[in-house]
Amino acid sequence: MSAIDRLFEQLRLSGRKALMPFVTAGDPDLQFTAEVIRRLIERGSSICELGVPYSDPIADGPVIQASYTRALADGIKLGEILEMAGRLTPELSAPVVTMVSYAIVYRRGLEQYVSDAKGSGVAGLIVPDLPVEESGPLSEICGREDVSLIQLITPTTPRQRALRIAERTTGFIYYVSVTGITGERTELPRDLVDNVAWLREQTPLPICIGFGISRPEHVRMLSPVADGLIVGSAIVRRIAETSAKPRRQVLAEIGDYVAGLLAAIE
């Protein structure tokens, strides 16, 4: 079993759901990224998603795009991100996964990226721009190394294709809640719960829902059908406030925000 498999088995046995925050690596710097991840886990997050900045993000909204731009402008490098993860993950009680473009994985080399990520304590890869038809080689390497390859299913994914994606996925399925890009929203689609309920009948894999989740009412709506909830833009937006607020204050606000979402799950 991979680290993510063990996590969701423990959550299932205890009747709990995962909260998975997203953090951009290197925004505003890697030291603060590590501090944020520590705080998120201290306040009850079950797993953290570490975004590897990329110049051409596929589905990220303006908040996350801006964070990537800031990190890249400061010269962030993949090696530095993995080095930071390698120092950080041994002290954490929850796994870390990377959200990374396939272009970055391919440029480093599939075998090398998975080896480097595993060596840095990364438990899984989310590769949003990797089509299921082309995922075989990376899937094989990840399976051999016990690194989860987490793939995405969207509201517009045809059901037969969704089944193929589920067959190639390990760890958990990332279910995209809305058609469009990441970002905080006031409302989520009315058919979201029904769509996830259908998918749950088709696969034993845990299902985590992301995109647009930012409020306790979203959590209350989705936690009955989800195994985990992914929150990104709302946290990245708060991190960006370090330009105007003391970092200690921003950390406290992020911790309180996450605690409020977790309370809605329970």
Give me the active site residues, please: 49, 60
Do residues 67 and 238 touch, judged by C-beta distance below 8 A?
Answer: no
35 sits in which H/E element: helix 30-42
Q: Looking only at Cα atoms, what is the longest distance across the chain?
A: 50
Rounded alpha-carbon distances, angstroms, from residue 201 to 123, 163, 176, 219: 26, 11, 17, 21
Rounded alpha-carbon distances, angstroms, from residue 249 to 213, 244, 255: 23, 10, 10
Query: Position of tokens 């950390």?
Result: 251
**Share in percent of the chain as helix, strand, coil (round to 5):** 50, 15, 35
Tell me the H-state helices in 74-151.
78-88, 102-108, 110-119, 136-145
Among candidate residues 71, 17, 36, the one with its CA nearest the CA of residue 253: 36
Do residues 1 and 167 touch, judged by C-beta distance below 8 A?
Answer: no
| Whole-angstrom distance, CA of residue 266 vs CA of residue 258 | 13
CA angle in degrees (0–180, nearest 5) for 180-183-184: 125
| Whole-angstrom distance, CA of residue 223 vs CA of residue 213 | 11
* Amino acid present at 161: R
